[in-house]
Structure 1
Amino acid sequence: MGLSHTVSGRNQDLTAIAVLNLKSRFILPGQLTWPGSLKSSVLVLLFGFTYFLLGEVGLGIDTGYAGVTPFWPPSGLALLVFILYGPRYWPGIFIGIGLLAYSQAMPLAVAFLAACGHVLEALAGWYLLNRFWVKLDFRRVTDVLHFAAIAFSAPLISSLFGSTAMMVSNLVSWTDFILVWSMWWLGDATGILLLVPFVLIWRNLLYYCRDGADDSLLGAEIGEDCQYILKSNRIGQLSIYVVLLTLAALYGFSGAEVNTTGRLGLFYLVLPLTVFIAISFEQFGATLASILVSIILLFSYHPGWGPYPGSSDILNLLIVVIFICITVITAMVVAALFTERRQSEKALRKSHKRLQESELRLRQLSENIHEVFWLVDANDSHVIYISPSCRDTWGREPGAFYENPGEWGASLHPEDRERVFAEFENFKHNGRFEMQYRIVRPDGDVRWIRDKGFPVYNEAGYIYRLAGIAEDITEQKLAEEQKLQQEEERSRLSRYISVGELGNSLAHEINQPLTSIMCYAQGGLNRSKEGRLSEKDIQDIFGRLSGEAERAGRIINKLRDFVKRKDIRFSPVDINALLQDSLQLVDNKIKTGDVRVTYVLGDSLPLIMTDPVLTQQVILNLVINAVESMQEVESERVLTIVTEQGGDYVTISFRDTGIGIPQELQKEIFAPLFTTKQQGVGLGLSIASSIIESMGGELRAWPGDGSGYVFAFSLPIRHKHDRSSDALSNW
């Protein structure tokens, strides 16, 4: 639908005036029907009567041809009505021309064709404004030029209809067709150029004066224009300039049949004065000066007067109209240029202010955060910006990095330099950078840095800058190392405690090979004294001695590894074999505790990837706990050990028949320093849980059926985490 269907009331009318918001690019049949309501019908009649009055004003200029005028304000009125209310008010044009035909004794055929031409003219202008989305606040040069082009294009229709009708009706000779058509065309164009901008611009000011700056429908920019023109000193200036322009136009154009050089000079001052007013007061000044000059030039004209006495009257008027059109368009373009300039300067000031505020916020941020913010060029890696906090972190002034692009690389620790350079080169291509490295300050102090970078892309989508934030994590690293040492000491303490608990079993195990060695040595000595020791017997005795010594050495090495190991070394392990081998170390404790061990071992279990020494520590801890928990029961003491596969894990469970754990304490059994033993320190289960988790498994516990407790841990068949010696830093 047209504008008349998209706006209603004073507010929508204001919107249409401020910025033409045309939503339809096509004329629908319903927009050309007679308005149905009584109010609309009255408006059509009012439109027609106003059209008639303005037509009488235009026809008051004598051209020597009846019905032809160099200034036809009804064309501007018609386009205004179509802009503000839509084309459905077209019947008003027929009413207005009908009244003019009656008053001017115009033939009905000529009046009808002229009315059709003016309706099509207004429709064409309205459609073209829609088509090119012209904003009728005239603040942009492009909008002014588009409007001027439409103002000259639309009257081509009405001028062709009207001049042809006059020729056919023999009101004008065909030899004067070009002059009549030109006058008709320029007269309609002048009416549009003068009336439409003047009404739209100055009605904005009227609404602003009535409703004030709070009327948001005017828009912020138009409200600023109104404030700009309404300054008290500027109103006075405008009044003075208008008086000067009026005097120049009146004195230079009228009052004598023959022009003098002085009067011609004043006449030619009209254009620069109009342009000066447009520069000073923009759209308001341009429209006011243009319409004032046009009225004076047109209505002060008399045959034989003015600056062109040597030409015919109609040619004189054509020259005057062309001068008016040039003046109007020039003034509007100049006003738009200076409006754009003022808006650009304002936008530039705002941008500059925002840039200053942004720089201030960035400076406040960068100067007050502990981290170091940096920005470098992706091509040559020269430093564009580095925050002042680099003084505290790097021990260097920011200027050192600006003056010497290699300063950052020189600060890297020699052991980390190659690795960091390689990672930074990758950063330039893949846009990802996050690592930890060491730097050496000028005073020799070594600091740990956590650096995280991200790419900055240009408009073409390529990385052209690299930005990042570097943080000094030396204190954090020291705290982590201290914690690791504490955990290591705690783990070693647990091993020493376990060694103490394993003392009897280890003594028994080592005593066996030592006893065998002593027996073999004593037997060999006795047989040697008796002379019954052959060379073969000597070899057999020494072989047995060597085997028993190796057996004792293996037991001692296991004990040493058990106590001193601190890193994880994954290897394929047969869990059933490791389990039975581990229980040999506590065989004496099991026997002295009167505990019967029952095995339910899974058949053909796959090898698991684990650290055998650390896993053995967990097994020994759980077995010793189970044996000790059954010492207070009088019933049969049974430890059931089960191995089984479940998915990608192998699970080992230890079920005892001891006294169990009270329900209120069950949630704390894996907490450090928690124990139910009178002589315990509460580290065994906590460390065991950390060991299993570090190898990708899980240690669980739950009450047994009827009595006792169950502890079970699961380990992956293939380890899921590639861990180094730092893997145990959390226990």
Structure 2
Amino acid sequence: MAAVVATPELRRPVVVALQTLAVAACYYAAGRLGLLRQLVVEGAVFTPIWPPTGVAVASLLIFGIRCWPGIALGALLVVLSLTSFEPSAIGIVAGNTVAPVCAYLMLRKAGFRMKLDRLRDGVALVFLGALASMLISATVGVGLLVLTGKLAADGFWTVWLGWWVGDAMGVLIVAPVLLMLYMARRPLNLSRWKEATAMTLVACVLVPLATHSPISLLFLVYPLLIWAALRFPHTGSVLCALFASVMATIAATDGAGPFARLSEVEVMMKLQAFNGSMALTALLLSAVITEQRNTRRSVELACQELVEVLEHLGNPSATPPPAADDGRRRQHGAK
């Protein structure tokens, strides 16, 4: 009996340790992936989209606060892969750990639901999970660069803006995709596979054209986002936003398409404005549409139950509807 009781107690630390290592590995892999495309502003290198922040926030929402050591370990591995160990590295790791933890705590306080099926969930992820909490990592990271003499003081705000938006974009672009994959349930609904295939083909043609054409055609992505949000809320919109952000980042770092012949600061501003507005459109529009659909289903269900109750009142000899039957049982139990 003692062995049976002790088994769960021994299993829990093993599960937590495996989760910590998995989060650290995913964080490190996302960091290496994000470093493939970089921008240089004021002599400082940063990534327009920093995927590890999305991995960190999604991991905290899925596993809880206990996975924060995995985030810290992953951040440390990323820093060590870029430079030798320095005291300032501890501060950067701390900032990159505290920011997602603050995002998780604020989202939990706001009653955030991982399904993102309400407008308040989309707004909370944008303003609390991304814009507000990532102020910490950007301020700590750029502040340490200035204090250690690696960045001139007059370049603080330009680099800070790029760092902050890059971290926020990781939350807005990557976290919704990971949450969508976690919340997906089998069997998948394939009733509209023809439309999904057509949308995929259109995206594969339209997005590269919009992001690499010498004519500024970035606005062509928005009708595609609206189509995806209307027909495939969340799934279509977040995947479309992810694909468009990646393609725009590739074009910006290569200096191609609408980003050609621009200065470093202009490239950063144009890319971050496009990615940010697109992520906001995808998240908030899909959340509004999903919330309206859920409200309509609730109203239709309530109307159906009301019709069944009225039919029963008009014909008492008929079998009472389940809702009325359950209510009657609860009344008798209360008596």
TM-score (norm 1): 0.40
The 1:106/1:238 distance shift into structure 2, 3 A limit, reads farther
Asked if structure 1 preserves the Cα contact closer than 8 Å seen for 2:55 and 2:178, the reply is no
Tell me the alpha carbon deviations over residues 58-78 of structure 1, each in whole angstroms, 9 at most, x when there is no partner: 122221155521111111111
Match of 2:312 in 1: 361
- Shift in Å, 1:50: 2.3
Answer yes or no: is 1:279 the counterpart of 2:238: no
For residue 90 of structure 1, give the secondary structure of its aligned residue in structure 2.
helix
- Shift in Å, 1:304: 3.2
Q: Please give the alpha-carbon distance, in whole angstroms, between the structure 2 residues aligned to 1:45 and 1:354.
A: 50
Select the residue among 8, 16, 21 that pairs with 1:45.
Answer: 21
- Shift in Å, 1:310: 4.6
- Shift in Å, 1:181: 0.6
The 1:283/1:304 distance shift into structure 2, 3 A limit, reads closer
Q: Please give the alpha-carbon distance, in whole angstroms, between the structure 2 residues aligned to 1:62 and 1:123.
A: 26
Select the residue among 231, 237, 244 that pairs with 2:190.
Answer: 231
Select the residue among 35, 47, 55 that pairs with 1:59.
Answer: 35
Letter in 1 for 2:159: V
The 1:295/1:304 distance shift into structure 2, 3 A limit, reads closer
Select the residue among 46, 53, 63 that pairs with 1:68.
Answer: 46
Asked if structure 2 preserves the Cα contact closer than 8 Å seen for 1:120 and 1:158, the reply is yes
Answer yes or no: is 1:294 the counterpart of 2:245: yes
Tell me the alpha carbon deviations over residues 360-409 of structure 1, each in whole angstroms, 9 at most, x when there is no partner: 2233359xxxxxxxxxxxxxxxxxxxxxxxxxxxxxxxxxxxxxxxxxxx
Select the residue among 242, 247, 260 that pairs with 2:205.
Answer: 247
Asked if structure 2 preserves the Cα contact closer than 8 Å seen for 1:304 and 1:313, the reply is no
- Shift in Å, 1:191: 0.7
Tell me the alpha carbon deviations over residues 508-541 of structure 1, each in whole angstroms, 9 at most, x when there is no partner: xxxxxxxxxxxxxxxxxxxxxxxxxxxxxxxxxx
Match of 1:163 in 2: 142
Q: Please give the alpha-carbon distance, in whole angstroms, between the structure 2 residues aligned to 1:272 and 1:106.
A: 46
Match of 1:346 in 2: 297
Match of 1:664 in 2: none
Q: Please give the alpha-carbon distance, in whole angstroms, between the structure 1 residues aligned to 2:305 and 2:22.
A: 52
- Shift in Å, 1:38: 4.2
Asked if structure 2 preserves the Cα contact closer than 8 Å seen for 1:72 and 1:190, the reply is yes
Match of 1:194 in 2: 173
Select the residue among 274, 278, 289 that pairs with 1:323.
Answer: 274
Asked if structure 1 preserves the Cα contact closer than 8 Å seen for 2:61 and 2:114, the reply is no
Between Structure 1 and Structure 2, which shows a larger proportion of helix residues? 2
Letter in 1 for 2:143: T
Letter in 2 for 1:49: A
Q: Please give the alpha-carbon distance, in whole angstroms, between the structure 1 residues aligned to 2:252 and 2:260.
A: 11
Q: What percent identity do the matched residue pairs reach? A: 23
Match of 1:139 in 2: 117
- Shift in Å, 1:92: 2.3
- Shift in Å, 1:279: 0.8
Q: Please give the alpha-carbon distance, in whole angstroms, between the structure 1 residues aligned to 2:314 and 2:279.
A: 51
Which one has the largest radius of gyration?
1
- Shift in Å, 1:294: 1.3
How many corresponding residue pairs?
Answer: 305
Tell me the alpha carbon deviations over residues 258-281 of structure 1, each in whole angstroms, 9 at most, x when there is no partner: x13xxx33x311012112111111
Asked if structure 2 preserves the Cα contact closer than 8 Å seen for 1:246 and 1:293, the reply is no
Answer yes or no: is 1:105 the counterpart of 2:83: yes
Asked if structure 2 preserves the Cα contact closer than 8 Å seen for 1:249 and 1:296, the reply is yes
For residue 160 of structure 1, give the secondary structure of its aligned residue in structure 2.
helix
The 1:48/1:355 distance shift into structure 2, 3 A limit, reads closer
Match of 2:333 in 1: none
Q: Please give the alpha-carbon distance, in whole angstroms, between the structure 2 residues aligned to 1:139 and 1:287.
A: 13
The 1:365/1:37 distance shift into structure 2, 3 A limit, reads closer
Asked if structure 2 preserves the Cα contact closer than 8 Å seen for 1:63 and 1:314, the reply is no
- Shift in Å, 1:39: 4.3
Asked if structure 2 preserves the Cα contact closer than 8 Å seen for 1:109 and 1:165, the reply is no
For residue 260 of structure 2, give the secondary structure of its aligned residue in structure 1.
coil
Asked if structure 2 preserves the Cα contact closer than 8 Å seen for 1:97 and 1:111, the reply is no
Match of 1:85 in 2: 63
- Shift in Å, 1:321: 2.2
Q: Which moved more, 1:179-188 or 1:242-251?
A: 242-251
Letter in 1 for 2:283: M
- Shift in Å, 1:117: 0.4
Q: Please give the alpha-carbon distance, in whole angstroms, between the structure 2 residues aligned to 1:313 and 1:36.
A: 50
Answer yes or no: is 1:270 the counterpart of 2:221: yes
Structure 1 unpaired stretches of 5+? 1-7, 9-34, 213-225, 367-731
Q: Please give the alpha-carbon distance, in whole angstroms, between the structure 1 residues aligned to 2:227 and 2:219.
A: 13
- Shift in Å, 1:142: 1.3
- Shift in Å, 1:89: 2.6
The 1:176/1:303 distance shift into structure 2, 3 A limit, reads farther
- Shift in Å, 1:137: 0.8
| Runs ≥4 residues deviating over 4 A | none
- Shift in Å, 1:320: 1.6
For residue 139 of structure 1, give the secondary structure of its aligned residue in structure 2.
coil
Letter in 2 for 1:158: S
Q: Please give the alpha-carbon distance, in whole angstroms, between the structure 2 residues aligned to 1:365 and 1:98.
A: 71
Q: Please give the alpha-carbon distance, in whole angstroms, between the structure 2 residues aligned to 1:231 and 1:302.
A: 37
TM-score (norm 2): 0.83
The 1:201/1:46 distance shift into structure 2, 3 A limit, reads closer
Q: Please give the alpha-carbon distance, in whole angstroms, between the structure 1 residues aligned to 2:29 and 2:44.
A: 17
Tell me the alpha carbon deviations over residues 285-327 of structure 1, each in whole angstroms, 9 at most, x when there is no partner: 1111111111111123334323143532243233222222221
Letter in 2 for 1:37: P
Q: Please give the alpha-carbon distance, in whole angstroms, between the structure 1 residues aligned to 2:123 and 2:223.
A: 20
Answer yes or no: is 1:174 the counterpart of 2:133: no
Tell me the alpha carbon deviations over residues 94-126 of structure 1, each in whole angstroms, 9 at most, x when there is no partner: 322332233212552332111110111011011
Asked if structure 2 preserves the Cα contact closer than 8 Å seen for 1:248 and 1:269, the reply is yes
Q: Please give the alpha-carbon distance, in whole angstroms, between the structure 1 residues aligned to 2:227 and 2:266.
A: 29
- Shift in Å, 1:351: 2.5
- Shift in Å, 1:329: 1.8
1:342-491 aligned at under 5 Å gives the runs 342-365=293-316
For residue 269 of structure 1, give the secondary structure of its aligned residue in structure 2.
helix
Letter in 2 for 1:60: L
Asked if structure 1 preserves the Cα contact closer than 8 Å seen for 2:229 and 2:282, the reply is yes
Asked if structure 2 preserves the Cα contact closer than 8 Å seen for 1:59 and 1:67, the reply is no
Structure 2 unpaired stretches of 5+? 1-7, 318-335
1:617-696 aligned at under 5 Å gives the runs none
Q: Please give the alpha-carbon distance, in whole angstroms, between the structure 2 residues aligned to 1:87 and 1:344.
A: 32
Asked if structure 1 preserves the Cα contact closer than 8 Å seen for 2:65 and 2:101, the reply is yes
Q: Please give the alpha-carbon distance, in whole angstroms, between the structure 2 residues aligned to 1:167 and 1:269.
A: 40
Match of 2:93 in 1: 115
Match of 1:582 in 2: none
Letter in 2 for 1:245: A
Match of 1:503 in 2: none
Asked if structure 1 preserves the Cα contact closer than 8 Å seen for 2:30 and 2:52, the reply is yes
Between Structure 1 and Structure 2, which shows a larger proportion of strand residues? 1
CA RMSD of aligned residues (A): 2.4
Match of 2:263 in 1: 312
- Shift in Å, 1:333: 1.7
Asked if structure 2 preserves the Cα contact closer than 8 Å seen for 1:282 and 1:338, the reply is yes
The 1:174/1:276 distance shift into structure 2, 3 A limit, reads same
Larger RCO (CA under 8 A, 6+ residues apart): 2
Letter in 2 for 1:274: L
